[in-house]
Amino acid sequence: MADVTLKGVTKQFGAHAVIKGVDLSVADGEFCVFVGPSGCGKSTLLRMIAGLEDISGGTLSIGGRDMTNVGPSERGVAMVFQSYALYPHMTVRDNIGFGLKMTGHAKADIDARVAEAARMLQLDALLERKPGQLSGGQRQRVAIGRAIVRKPEVFLFDEPLSNLDAALRVQMRIELSHLHADLKATMIYVTHDQVEAMTMADKIVVLSAGRIEQVGSPLDLYHRPDNLFVAGFIGSPKMNFIKTRTTAAGAGVTVTLPGGGTLSLPAPAGDLPKGEVTLGVRPEHLSATGEGDATLTGTVRVAEHLGSETLYFAALPDGTELSVKADGLSGLRVGDAITIGIPASACHLFDGEGKAVLNGDLRR
């Protein structure tokens, strides 16, 4: 078991910088998830930790030892690939045992460890089959088996669930969480699916354009986003942003709302930002029935009835679009007028550069 530390890690492909200086430490036994939009460099960063991509600058250490220039098989890491990358000509048994065979383990030792891994993953009955005869979920298990049999200090997962159907994905998510609890190994997991990130992670790393935007626990990211990018990326449907201006008012600030209303918020910790600011509030914190510290009126443009909840996409008279999550029984129709209530305690404020100056953390 080991911790993973990256210091000023960069990656260049020719003149093109893909990873622009990443400092990160993942504690021993932690489940760390890298999320970000496609092309943000999350997979590249994972492959650099695996040793499949060279590190252009900075250092990587695993378990306190410098691994920056060590080959992939000597880093004590194992990786599960998006395509599973099973060897199609080998049986499940040979697939799982291949790494041990390559590192020169005795046959009896390999058999024992393969059997143990197969038992953990319920693959016992499938050991003599070839990957082509397995379902997607079973292949996924074999890929995981191939990783755990080597007893690595760190597990790396590259979007492992993206090729599975929705139901299987939920099931595998739970199994992976169980596996993490059983093995107590450090795991680093790359995904673009924020549900996977929120449900499995101890720590989420949000990446964008080769840089870390924020590191924190799932609920920290949800309640206390550092900037507009994280605020917009975490949460579904995404947070509403309203361009506005603020004025100091006694102990707090007053925010002008579209349509002329105002909303009083507590004062930010630092200086009051000048010029245009962005007010952020999540759809699930807005009220479709007008309860709150201020109200906005608009027209329903789209109504999505999901049974358990209803999503309204409303347009305000000045053109601002807001999404509101309402009760499943809410009966508004497209074209109806809607009165949206804003609770001051759930509002976030971002300055002109997109940095958060006020977080409406509802846990307080």
Partner 1 sequence: MTATAARAPGFWRRNQQRLTPWLFMAPGLLMFAIYVLIPIFESIAISFYDWDGLGEKVFIGLSNYVELMDDDTFYVALKNNVLWLVLYLLAIPAGLAVALFLNQTVTGIRLYKSLFFFPFVISQVVVGLIFTWFYAPDFGLFSALLKSLTGQEIAILADERYVTYGIILAGLWPQTAYCMILYLTGLNNINPEQVEAARMDGAKGLKLLWYVILPQLAPATFIALVVTVIGSLRSFDLVSIMTSGGPYGSSQVLSYFMYEQALSEYGFRMGYGAAIAVVLFLIMMVFISVFIVRMLSQERNA
Figure out which of the listed residues 21, 30, 52, 192 binds partner 1, where binding follows CB under 8 A: 52
Per the structure block, which two tokens stand in for 214? 């924020």
Figure out which of the listed residues 23, 39, 66, 89 binds partner 1, where binding follows CB under 8 A: 89
Residue 98 sits in the site that holds partner 1 (CB under 8 A)? yes
Q: Which is nearer to partner 1, 47 or 224 (CB)?
A: 47
Q: Which is nearer to partner 1, 73 or 171 (CB)?
A: 73
Per the structure block, which two tokens stand in for 210? 């080769």
Figure out which of the listed residues 86, 110, 190, 326 binds partner 1, where binding follows CB under 8 A: 86
CA angle 211, 216, 218 (to 5 degrees): 115
Q: Which is nearer to partner 1, 77 or 172 (CB)?
A: 77
Helices of type H across the chain: 42-50, 92-102, 107-120, 136-148, 166-183, 194-200, 218-223, 228-233
Q: Which stretch binds partner 1 (CB under 8 A): 81-89, 181-189, 271-279, 352-360?
A: 81-89
Crossing angle between the packed helical segments 107-120 and 92-102, to the nearest 10 degrees: 130
Residue 173 and residue 193: Cα distance in Å, rounded?
12
Query: For the CA atoms of 168, 173, 175, 178, what is the dihedral angle to 10 degrees?
Result: -170
Residue 83 sits in the site that holds partner 1 (CB under 8 A)? yes
Per the structure block, which two tokens stand in for 106? 């005795």
Residue 72 sits in the site that holds partner 1 (CB under 8 A)? yes
Figure out which of the listed residues 19, 78, 200, 357 binds partner 1, where binding follows CB under 8 A: 78
Figure out which of the listed residues 139, 146, 224, 348 binds partner 1, where binding follows CB under 8 A: 146
| Residue 286: exposure state from Cβ atoms within 10 A (0-12, 13-18, ≥19) | buried
Q: Which stretch binds partner 1 (CB under 8 A): 88-96, 214-222, 292-300, 309-317?
A: 88-96
The widest CA-to-CA distance across the chain, in whole angstroms, is: 77
CB of 81 to partner 1, least distance (A): 5
CB of 259 to partner 1, least distance (A): 53
Residues lying near partner 1 in the complex (CB under 8 A) are found at 50-52, 71-73, 77-79, 81-83, 85-90, 98-99, 102-103, 146, 150
